Amino acid sequence: MILRWDIQQDILLNVKSVHTDRMIINASVFDFELDDEDMDRINMLNEDLRVGPNPDQFDF
């Protein structure tokens, strides 16, 4: 579900798996779209928290 949300948000994905069953599940993300209500509900989950560095503020 979240992979589909990422795609509809124009977020680039780098999905990796070595398990065939998970590869099939990941590929199924192109078999459906989330409607506006679903997108809005997922967007409301945002708490502006980050578990890694902010890519917009990365110090090279």
pLDDT in tens, 6-55: 999 999 989 999 999 999 999 999 999 999 999 999 999 999 888 888 88
State how far the Cα of 60 lies from the Cα of 50, in Å rounded to an integer: 19
How many CB atoms lie under 10 A from the CB of residue 27? 11
Where on the phi/psi map is residue 52: left (φ > 0), alpha (ψ -120 to 50), or beta?
A: beta
- Helix, strand or coil for residue 39? helix
Report CA torsion sign: 6, 9, 14, 18: positive
Give this prediction's pTM.
0.72
